[in-house]
Amino acid sequence: MVNLKSYYDSRVLELGEEQLLEQVGHTEYGKAISANQFHKLTEELNSLLDLNSHDVMLDLACGNGVISKLMAQNCR
């Protein structure tokens, strides 16, 4: 059985942030959004969802997981 966390973590290390954002369509005019835009996006999502250590994050494979991985840091 594949350890998905290990697989994902190794994949993130192989690819740059821009490539991960391009894979899931986080682009403007075909170019990956900036790291600053990405962090503003995740900050806004965190604010809206108000995730905390009592929450559990479930990613239903709607992309490469780059956003879910950051959001899950606030969860158990």
pTM: 0.57
How far apart (Å, rounded) are the C-alpha atoms in residues 53 and 75?
Answer: 4
pLDDT of residue 25: 58
Q: Under a CB-based contact definition with an 8 Å cutoff, are residues 37 and 31 in contact?
A: no
Residue 28 has what DSSP assignment? E
Per-residue pLDDT of the chain (76 residues; tens, 9 = 90+): 567 777 767 766 676 666 666 666 566 677 777 778 888 888 898 899 998 899 988 888 767 777 888 888 888 8
Please give the pLDDT value at position 18: 60
